[in-house]
Every structure is written in structure tokens, then in C-alpha cells.
Amino acid sequence: MEFGGIPQEVTADGQLLEDLAEVARDAALLHGLLMRTRDAPNSSEVVGHAPFALFPSPVPKSLFLQALAAQPLFNRLVDRISRDPEFLENVLASTIKVDDFTARLFSIYRHVLQEGPKQSIVLGLNRSDYMVDQDRDGGMSLKQIEINTIAASFGGLTSQMPDVHRYVMAFVITLFQNAKKILDNNPAAGLAKGLAKAWELYGSERAVVMFLVEEIQRNIYDHRYIENELWKRNIPVIRRRFEEVFKTGSLDQEKRLFVGGKEVAIVYFRNGYMPQNYTEQSWEVRLMMERSLAIKCPDIGTHLAGTKKVQQELARPGVLESFFPNEPDAVDQIRATFAGQYTLDMGEEGDRTVAMALAEPDVFVLKPQREGGGNNIYGSEICQVLEAVKGGSERTAYILMDKIRPRPSHNYLLRPGEPLRLNACLSELGAFGAYVRHGKDMVMNECVGHLLRTKSVEYSDGGVAAGVAVLDNPLLV
């Protein structure tokens, strides 16, 4: 018997497992799979390994390739949505009335539209996340969970995972052949390639790439790998928080952005995707940056293109066709990844969605307009939330989606300080996309790597940063 590719002799030998875990933890440290500790989140004097799976997890090869092939199409789709103010206005009209965070973002979007965008260079670094859905007959299909258009993380750390798993599997003779099957994967270099292309187009060798970062920076090494790729290209990088930009940031007469006296070519958002990231000063800073000549990654339109309400609207008949006229193959590739999406807008259609969710809450997910993991609502909690808001416009802050039913595999999840035990696990596959548009010309559009995150079946939601999922590699089957 095997557990997701792990031979039984490995799972049955407690001493071998302990030895493997020790080798794996050392390999993680050796290869730089690092995070700062919870006790000292802003200090690099004490670090530990990022949480990761002891063995790579099985992923159907055809579905893995499907995710990678679809990513350039999703890049194009996000870019086209971001440039369609009428679409965004119509889709988000109900949401911005009840969701203050989305409303504040949309207010900035309107302000920039009224002034007229200052920058014709657009940079998108995103990640489309999927799970493998299994139907009642055992058939499997790839279904999208969401697309992250701001602060899509772990491109740096996951670039180190292939070497960690190769190291571990080479330690066990029976797994040696599988070690050769671990795919090369370096999204850090691919994401940096997009940043570098946009920086070159900006046209000033003295201008910097500014990482806009959080107050608490446990995941700093994920950033550092991308920074390092930029430094290799002699592209200067600075790291600043909202507060620092508020104190030292300004626009000149040409709307060039300066922070601490340095001209900023690109603002790369690794913060700013959740309401708690903002103070009133932060909102002022966001508006200033969006009004500037600096390239924003993402710009405000691209940020809004990643909202759950837009995701739900795209699943409606005819909507994808409006963004890909005369491209039926592109429409089919994208739509094949969609799970069922249902509106909660006021009216008969929204009322039917509420009734459907209350009747069978276990087959749906209720999703607010939030990023960052840990925000979705499941099971009996769906009933609690909908019973409270079903009669009012507050329900339009959410969408409803079919719950994906993946088949569990088994693995050992290594976290600092936790005992070694076999878990039934679920995995989530992400495809990283990078694109650069200059005016009407798409000068770069690529899938630049992948991310696999695995968690125990006992958790419904939450990622690596939330302490639920761990980093992993796909073993194609």
C-alpha cells in the first residue's frame, strides 16, 4: 500500500521517518526555506524553516499542465477587465454599497479615471489557485478557487522546494527514482523578469523598485529571493511601509513618485490587500501612488479585477465571450476551470441563491471580498451568516460558490516544534503569471512557475502564512 507515493516500508519504520524528518529540516535550512519566528517576526537573528511537506504530493499530470497552459489566458483576462471601467462599475455597484473596503478601493479607481492614468506601462504578477475536484463517478477536473492579483506570495520560497524534496527522497533508496521526477520550478526568477521588464520600460537607471511591505514581516525571505534576482540585474530595490511612504513620499510636477529622495519606478505591493492593512494615512498614500507616474503592481484596476464579485460575474453566460471575441478556444480553456458561482444580489436570482445555500450549506462556500486566506465560510456557519443578512443588502458583500471535493492523499507536514504524524491531506495548486503591457502592446505574457500548498483535511481554509497549509511539490501522476 502507498500513501500518495510514499512506500509502506517508509510509513511503517518509525526510526526511518524520524531520520528523514531530521534530514528534511536540515535540507530546508540548507536551501534557504526560511521564515522568521512568531516571537521575533521582524528580526532575522532567529529564524526557522518554513512549514513544508516531507514528501511531494501527487497531482494529475494532465490537470497540472492545464493550469499552466491557462495562465497566460488569465493574464490577458485580468488585464482586459482592469481596462474596462464600465464592466467594473456595473459588477461592483452592489458590493461597494455594503463593503467599505471595496468601496474605498473603487473610490481611488474613479479618482484615477477622472484625472486620466499617468502611466501606460502595466505590470501584473498574479497567481491563479486551483483544486482537483472529484465527481461521484471518480472523474477528476481542475477547478479554480480564485485569482490573486495583489501580493501573490510564496514565489520566492517555493523556488527552493524542488531541491529540498530531491535531497529528502535521495536519502531513501526506494524513493530515489521519484527524486528525479521533481520538477524544476523558479517563480522567483520569473516574477523578477516581469519586474525587470517593466523597470526597463520606465527608462531611468536611478529609479528604484519599491516593495511596499507589512509591519510584521515573518515572510521576508519570500520577498528576498525576488529582490536578489533584481539585484543580479543591477536594479535597485528599497523596502518601505505605508507609514514611511506617508512621511517621505511626494509627487513632483510630472507626477513622478519620490520616496526618501529616491525616484520610484515600480511600486510592488506585498501589502494593502486587507482592510486591516490601512489607516487613513495609508489610504492617502495609496491614492498618491495610484496618481503617480510609477508603475503599480497591481494598479488599482487590476486589484479590483481580482475581487470575488468579478470572479462570480465571469461565470455568467456570455461574459467571457465579451472579453475574448472570436476566440472560442480561449473561452473554453478558461471556463473549463470554473466552479459554479452564484450571485447574492437583491432580487429573485439572489433569493434563489440564499434558499439554495440554506438548504444544502455543506455543498457550498460563502466568500467575502477579501484576500489573504482564512476568510471563507463553510457548513453551518453559512446558515448563521445568511440568516442574519438574507433580507438586506448586506448579503451582496458575499458570493456563493460550489464547494470543491478533492480526493485526500497522505503526507507528513513539518512545522517547527510539532510532532511527526501522518495526515490525510488536501492540496491546492497555484500557477504564477507575469505580464507587462506597454500601451496596447503586450510585451510579456507568461506562466512563470507553480506553487503547491498542502494542509490537513481538518482545516477548511487558510494558507501557509496563516499557519494552516505547508509548502509542497507536485509529483505528477
Please check if 445 is assigned to a binding site: no
Please check if 417 is assigned to a binding site: no
Give the residue among 398, 433, 452 at the shortest CA–CA distance from 298: 433
Please check if 271 is assigned to a binding site: yes
Q: Is position 291 annotated as part of the catalytic site?
A: no
Please check if 166 is assigned to a binding site: no
Q: Is position 371 annotated as part of the catalytic site?
A: yes
Give the residue among 374, 431, 363 at the shortest CA–CA distance from 190: 431
Q: Is position 301 annotated as part of the catalytic site?
A: no
> Which residue out of 25, 76, 127, 224 is catalytically annotated?
127
CA 93 – CA 36 distance, rounded (Å) = 41
Query: Which residues, other chains included, contact 396 with Cβ-Cβ below 8 Å and sequence gap of 6+?
Result: 94, 95, 97, 98, 344, 345, 346, 350
Burial call 154-185: b when 16+ CB within 10 Å, e when fewer: bbbbbbbbbbbbbbbbebbeebeebbebbeeb
Please check if 255 is assigned to a binding site: no
> Which residue out of 166, 197, 224, 367 is catalytically annotated?
367
Please check if 153 is assigned to a binding site: yes
Q: Is position 61 annotated as part of the catalytic site?
A: no
CA 430 – CA 322 distance, rounded (Å) = 26
Please check if 403 is assigned to a binding site: yes
Q: Is position 473 annotated as part of the catalytic site?
A: no
> Which residue out of 76, 197, 395, 453 is catalytically annotated?
453
> Which residue out of 148, 411, 445, 473 is catalytically annotated?
148
> Which residue out of 194, 371, 395, 449 is catalytically annotated?
371
Q: Please check whether residue 302 is in contact with residue 149, taking contact to mean a CB–CB distance below 8 angstroms.
A: yes
Please check if 455 is assigned to a binding site: yes
CA 125 – CA 137 distance, rounded (Å) = 37
Please check if 435 is assigned to a binding site: no
Please check if 25 is assigned to a binding site: no
Element (DSSP H or E) covering residue 377: strand 377-378
Q: Is position 180 annotated as part of the catalytic site?
A: no
Q: Please check whether residue 386 is in contact with residue 366, taking contact to mean a CB–CB distance below 8 angstroms.
A: yes
Tell me the residue type at 144: Q
Q: Is position 25 annotated as part of the catalytic site?
A: no
Q: Is position 139 annotated as part of the catalytic site?
A: no
Please check if 373 is assigned to a binding site: yes
> Which residue out of 75, 82, 94, 153 is catalytically annotated?
153
DSSP assigned state of 337: T
Please check if 372 is assigned to a binding site: yes
Question: Within its chain, how far is the Cα of 21 from the centroid?
Answer: 28
Please check if 228 is assigned to a binding site: no
Helix, coil or strand: residue 195: helix
Please check if 272 is assigned to a binding site: yes
> Which residue out of 296, 308, 309, 395 is catalytically annotated?
308
CA 444 – CA 430 distance, rounded (Å) = 20
Please check if 464 is assigned to a binding site: yes
Query: Which residues, other chains included, contact 206 with Cβ-Cβ below 8 Å and sequence gap of 6+?
Result: 236, 262, 263
Please check if 461 is assigned to a binding site: yes
Please check if 90 is assigned to a binding site: no
State the Rg of the chain over Cα.
Answer: 22
Please check if 140 is assigned to a binding site: no
> Which residue out of 260, 372, 379, 462 is catalytically annotated?
372
Please check if 4 is assigned to a binding site: no
Q: Is position 308 annotated as part of the catalytic site?
A: yes
CA 318 – CA 335 distance, rounded (Å) = 11
Please check if 66 is assigned to a binding site: no
Which three cell numbers mark 165? 524534496
> Which residue out of 146, 214, 227, 290 is catalytically annotated?
146
Please check if 433 is assigned to a binding site: no
Q: Which residue ranges make up the annotated binding site for ATP?
A: 146, 308, 367-376, 378, 401-404, 428, 455, 461
Q: Which residue ranges make up the annotated binding site?
A: 127, 146, 148, 150-153, 217-219, 270-273, 308, 367-376, 378, 401-404, 428, 453, 455, 461, 464-465
Q: Which residues are catalytic?
A: 127, 146, 148, 153, 308, 367, 371-372, 453
Q: Which residue ranges make up the annotated binding site for substrate?
A: 127, 150-153, 217-219, 270-273, 453, 464-465
Q: Which residue ranges make up the annotated binding site for Mg(2+)?
A: 146, 148, 371
